[in-house]
A and B are shown apart, each in its own frame.
Chain A
Amino acid sequence: MTSMMKASNPATLLISRIDDRKLLLVFGILISVLLVLFVAYPLWSIFRMSFISPQGGWSLSNYVLFFSEPRLVGIVFNTFAMTITTTIITMILAYLFSYAMVHSAIPFKRTWILIALSPLFAPSLIHALGFQFLLGRNGLLNMAFNLGFSIYGFWGLVFSNTLYAFPHAVLILRSSLAFADQRIYESATMLGASGWRIFRTVTVPASRYGLMSAAFIVFAVTITDFGNAIIIGGNYKVLATEIYTQVVGQANFNLGAVVSMVLLFPTAIAIGMERWITKRQPALVTDKFVPLRVKPRRAFDAIMLVCVGLICTAIITVIGIVIYASLVRLWPYSMVLTLHNYLEPELQNGFEPLLNSIWMALMTAILGVSVTTLAAYVVHKMSGRFSRILYFFSILPGAVPGMVLGLGYIFVFNNPANPLVFLYGSLLLLSICTSYHFHAQGFLTAITSFKQVSAVFDEASAMLGGSIIRTLRKVTLPIIWPSLVRSSVFFFMQAMVTLSAVIFLFSPASTVASVVVVQLEDFGDMSAAAAFATLIMLSVIVMLTTLQGLMRLIGIRNISLIG
């Protein structure tokens, strides 16, 4: 035991290293500055702008104007009618689908789920495009059967948004149903309860938290969607499109800010309710949990298979028709199959916007994960009021519609007095905006990962003389990196498909693919629009497969990149 003589001297440790608490404070200040600059200040600007009268000075005149204009009040009514209808239909379908996935013995469950989640790979407007190709003025079904039916308006929006919101609801409902405990079902059966009675008294109550939280998410996703509304809304205006009309069409920034506030309010309430419910939800899995074993039941399984099949057919048809449309010469005039739209696109900038999208999405993948992980780390390590305030501002963007955040960025970064004005119109600002638009989701993922890494590891490392940087580098990050990779995939996907957050911020040089789809559709070049939408989907899928392949190659399996 000679090495025992080499007792280390704590004093040298003291001077040779930076104080952990000071370092944490520096991180905390950095994160605060970023959150103020890219979240709080833009929101404040909108708030302020909505209360500034066109003549200058604080007043309520913008709000008075808004609520005394029947057209604008009608838009509020439209928005709620469409959103609530969509929420009800989506919830019924998603619950049915999730129930079939958990409680029935139907085959090919993995395939069905993959199909159900596939809308996540595409911009929301792909559904509107799909419905247009099927039931629009020149839609396939309309032309074939001469239906004389117009999809534009209320029902078009409801259908498109239902498909768009469906995977969001399924993700929540499926996991809340999956925590069904075999023992409870066995005891219910032993007590003589019928299938329907078990469904009513066991299944539904057990999944009530999931039901409520899914409903609020669907509500928020639908009310804030811009892509579907702009393409298939027709004369049926909603708040999200009205912000665009006011700002881009009429350059009325004050009224645009008021519409933003009116849209922000219900969205924030829905997201706030969702957070509240999620927090109240008791721990889903206890250590004695016995997962459900489904027994095949012929008639029931057959009915479920038909339902699931129909839902998936609808999803595939709508996306499939867009891919098909991208392969015809010029919808609907020349329906010859060709690769013309991909090989010789008649576009101003060619495929540059797609490269812009990919580049922007890669930046977002890195930026989004970095800022959310650092924010989560600071909040996790610190306690007290500062930490709670940071937490609030970190999840606040989750309650802010993309259109609203985007408009806030115009107010802040299109202001010549702002030293950061050089960011305006750059891909970097699109990337920053997207990172902060989805900040809440990334932040919550990261903070959950930090919580899962036992606090004992931190303490063990500190006892052995490790600084927080060393602990993070050698212990924490090596343990949680799979969830960070998943989070960066999430940011990448969102950045590829996002439209609402960037519609106000792009410049000719930084046009991204999702914007081009809207522009082409507006020009009536439907096939080219379809081709661009398909390319976005394809890029996401290629990127995912490549990453999964790379991870396989270095010997990492069993890590699912989505969900």
Chain B
Amino acid sequence: MTLQNVTKRFDKTVAVDRISLEVEEGELVFFLGPSGCGKTTLLRVIAGLEIPDTGKILLQGNDLAFRPARLRNFGMVFQSYSLFPNMTLAQNVSYGLECHRWTNDAKQKRVKELLGMMHLEDHKDKYPSQLSGGQQQRVALARALAPNPLVLLLDEPLSALDAKVRAELRGEVRDLQKGFGITTVMVTHDQEEAMEMADRIVVMNQGGIEQVGTSTDLYYRPANIFVAHFLGKMNRLRLDRPGLNPPTLAGRRLCGAGDEGRQTASVYVRPEAVEILKDSRPGTNRFAGRVIKTSFLGNLTRVEMEVAGQPLAAELRYTGASSLQAGEEVTVYFPPEAILTIVDSQ
């Protein structure tokens, strides 16, 4: 499926701004971004629930941009439970099959097959209100998949569920998607969800695409500051002078930064990459700092410090970290490979 220059305006605001994108057959692509970034609108344009102002949506060579939703044969799962409350689970799942005029036998077989796959066969004569949220979303998924859609669209399907069910369903959705081999687009604002499940992630902001790539691409090689901050936590270190080669921090050389001689004013380092050393001997990329606050978070300890006159956070896994006291002098170490240089127009 290929999107070309898709734009959607609501009155004056541009919700989706000239987006072009290619989704491979059988791929699971995520639209990730803060609320209001246009990810849901883009999904709805693909679904046919919104008509784009410009652009093409190509699937197997046909442009679908102006074809009504019901003639596209795309499956969709909505954020809120969208099961028809007046129908049983089996009726819900077979609804799409009736719309596509399947024969009775084929219908029954298909409903059985899908409910079986979702482990909901025992509940087939129940009504949606008798099910838990997680079960309802499973049925919604079964209903969307039943008529063999060409593309599956998922609009934050897990966000209304509680944390435990959500984690469970992530795996299930992923397995089903791979099992059916169906091209899938899923929208989320939960970066963890996207990183865990996606083949590729499209990071969106203000109607445009910031970066497209795999989880590791985005995490270790963010194309810009927005992506760097949106996926995981990030420290920013202002250099002494922009464009100085070699770059320095607090008067000392910072290895790893600006290797390509780029004209940057700041470099970035993830909190979990920052090390706190016991010995205070000077060395490469070692800087003196002072602890401001520590927070014990269970699996890790977050230490907030002041280094070279700037705030810096570190996340440490070893247990001794929580014994650090506010005001304590420490030495921090930045591994050169963890220093990120991001050239950004902003």
A-side interface residues toward B, CB under 8 Å?
1, 3-4, 6-8, 10, 13-14, 20-21, 454, 456-457, 459-467, 470, 474-475, 478-479
Contacts and interface: CB of A to CB of B under 8 A. Distances in A.
Contacts of A465: 70-71, 73, 96, 99-100, 147
23 contacts: A3-B109, A6-B102, A6-B148, A8-B73, A8-B102, A13-B71, A14-B71, A454-B80, A456-B78, A457-B84, A459-B49, A459-B78, A461-B70, A462-B68, A463-B48, A463-B70, A464-B143, A465-B70, A465-B96, A466-B99, A474-B87, A475-B84, A475-B86
A157 to B, nearest CB: 49
Looking at chain A's contact residues, is the secondary structure mostly helix, strand, loop, or mixed?
A: helix
A478 to B, nearest CB: 4
A464 B68 contact: no
Contacts of B74: 463
B110 interface: yes
A460 B100 contact: no
A548 B240 CA distance: 83
A1 B180 contact: yes
A457 B67 CA distance: 20
Interface of B: 47-49, 67-76, 78, 80, 82-87, 95-96, 99-102, 106, 109-110, 113, 143-144, 147-148, 150, 153, 179-180
A149 to B, nearest CB: 60
Given A3-B110, A8-B147, A463-B76, A474 B95 contact: yes
A473 to B, nearest CB: 11
Contacts of A467: 70, 99
B100 A8 contact: yes
A459 B150 CA distance: 17
Contacts of B72: 10
Nearest to A13: B71
A460 B73 contact: no
Contact of A3 (B69, B80, B113, B150): B113
B1 to A, nearest CB: 14
Q: Which of B70, B100, B109, B148 has the most CB of A within 10 A?
A: B70
A9 to B, nearest CB: 9
B148 A7 contact: yes
A460 B71 CA distance: 13
A3 B74 CA distance: 17
Given A460-B76, A464-B99, A479 B86 contact: yes
A554 to B, nearest CB: 15
Contacts of B71: 10, 13-14, 465
B82 A4 contact: no
A94 to B, nearest CB: 36
B243 to A, nearest CB: 53
Contacts of A8: 73, 100-102, 147-148
Contacts of A7: 148, 150
Contacts of A20: 68, 70
Given A463-B69, A465-B100, A466-B99, A3 B106 contact: yes
Contacts of A466: 70, 95-96, 99
Contact of B148 (A4, A456, A461): A4
A528 to B, nearest CB: 49
Chain A CB count within 10 A is highest, among B78, B80, B99, B144, for: B99
Contact of A456 (B73, B82, B101, B179): B82
Contacts of B113: 1, 3
Given A20-B68, A454-B80, A464-B147, 7 more contacts: A3-B109, A3-B110, A8-B102, A460-B76, A463-B49, A465-B96, A479-B84
A10 B49 contact: no
A465 B144 CA distance: 11
Given A1-B180, A466-B70, A460 B84 contact: yes
A7 B148 CA distance: 6
Residue picked from B74, B113, B147, B179, most chain A C-beta under 10 Å: B147
Nearest to A12: B101
A454 B128 CA distance: 15
